[in-house]
Amino acid sequence: MASSSSHRDDGSDWDSAEEMEAESAETLCLFCSKLCKSPELVFKHCSEDHDFCISSLVAKLGLDCFSFIKMINYIRSKDITVESLQRIDASNVPWQDDKFLQPVLSDDLLLTYDVEDLEAGGDINKDAVTISQAEYTSLRQRLFQAEEAIEKMRYHRPRVQRLSTEHYPRFMSLHSSLVVSPPKKIAACSKRRLEIHLKFTGLNIICDVGSQNGCTPTEAYRKALEMNAETSIKGRVVLDVGCGTAILAMFAARCGASRVIGVDQSDIVFQAMDIVRENDLHGTVTLLKGRLEDIDLPVERVDVIVSEWMGYFLLFEGMLDTVLHARDHHLKPGGTLLPSRCDLFLVALCDKALHQRHIGFWGDVYGFKMSCLKKEVAREAHIMLVGSQSVCSVQPALVKSLDLNICNVEDTNFTSDFEFEVAPGADEITAFAGYFDSAFELPVPVVLSTSPQAEPTHWKQTVFLLEQPIAVRPGEKITGKLDCRRDARRRRELLVAITLRDQTYQYCLS
């Protein structure tokens, strides 16, 4: 179904952005007014002119990505000297407060620098290599393309494997009933067609034809459109952002929309054109290939925008940016956004078996201790289905509510306090789980929920495991804070920090 017009691409838009950044961005020194062309040159300048080696300080204090960002903002806000920095001890760093996550300078490239590069590189002045600006830009472009390709494969692989297992027998049966050919030829042809099918369904298209009963997300969109056809769709112009196979566009056309425009950057749009034509809807539905931000629509404004833009933990992938661009540039005043509101929730889990499988397991691996890996596993946010019996908070905590009519891109970075009451029978918290609800606020309202109590969806839940479970008592009130930030270097990814009982647990959703 819907897929991001911003993340299903060939990398050309990222290439131009990277090239512009390399050519025009400048970074202010930490201690003087000198501007440098890159973070690396800032670090080199600091070492040569201020006798300050940032990699040594990072190693000495054991800084991770969050604390590195805090340190940079602390230095810029306090006008601190090199001598003062060198006297700081790891046990009492002065930038613990989360207020130092707030940038002091806008577009500060030092905040986008990967601290692991410093850890791996040591003194950046040693064995330095000088290359031309063109070579540097080319290398950065190639690296970014490789990272994007790896990220896409890692993200889509589990779903492609699942679809292959579930749908290949059905695909074979369907093909055999339609084609008269020798068995071997049928099998070869069917496997090839399945490969094409999976190529597209692996690009975050909700399974439009994979289930007899329909998938929950597709069904929710269908109900929202059809049950509100007379009041909200009929006679209106509809824009489908990230149209995928055009299933939503065709729903809108069937509900009486006067015109439907679908936009998608993936090659699936060419198959979608055939699907629209096959269903004799090409007089109403127009499909365009490309990045929405770069396309001239055939109409100036639309009445309705529909999009399945949500990612894991609601905000992973960053497709909301494109939807908000569509709202600001193409939606008529008072127009309709579907969905119109998304709420992000957090619940506490008490699932000792799950904790043992993912964390405790490393304490005894065939008789060997691999405890150092617990921390690495615990830093990763895990996408999995959570049983409702594992939830140990009486009520979910609402950590973010997005009104799509008025929110902006900056709202994707947020900090929220939360409070839980521990449910009866729970004696410890082993993890937290995040999920979202998407509301279609129409005359006949519809809610698409991804909670552990709802019917499972491909979004599942996002689980944040604790390296060490926290002891609790039934009825106890647990308070904490959740901080969610988009990764400055990889905008599709999320950095999440959960603070509880004066301890902060940090996670990466990638």
Helix (H), strand (E), coil (C) string for 50-79: HCCCHHHHHHHHCCCHHHHHHHHHHHHHHC
Q: Can you tell me the distance from the alpha carbon of 480 to that of 461, in angstroms, rounded to the nearest whole number?
A: 20
Contact 217, 308 (CB under 8 A): yes
Q: What is the DSSP track for 120-185?
A: HH-STTTT-----HHHHHHHHHHHHHHHHHHHHHHHHHHHHHHHHHHHHHHHHHHHHHH----HHH
Helix or strand run (H / E) with residue 333: strand 331-338
Rounded Cα distance between 396 and 11, Å, is 39
Backbone phi and psi for residue 250, each to the nearest 5 degrees, phi listed first: -70, -35
Q: Phi, psi at residue 289, to the nearest 5°? A: -100, 135
According to DSSP, the residues that pair with 261 across neighbouring strands are: 239, 286
- Paired tokens of 267: 């090659």
Cα 434 versus chain centre, distance = 13
Give the residue among 18, 9, 25 at the shortest CA–CA distance from 138. 18
The string of DSSP codes covering 413-467 is SEEEEEEEEBPTT--EEEEEEEEEEEEE-SSS-EEEE-STTSPP-TT-EEEEEEE
Active-site residue list = 308, 317
Tokens encoding 495: 């950095």
Measured CA distances, 268 to 30, 259, 305 (Å): 48, 21, 20
- CB 239 within 8 Å of CB 261: yes
CA separation for the pair 61, 92 (Å, rounded) = 10
- Asked whether 67 and 61 are in contact (CB, 8 A), the reply is yes
CA distance 416 to 480: 9
Strand 27-28, strand 503-509: pairing: unpaired
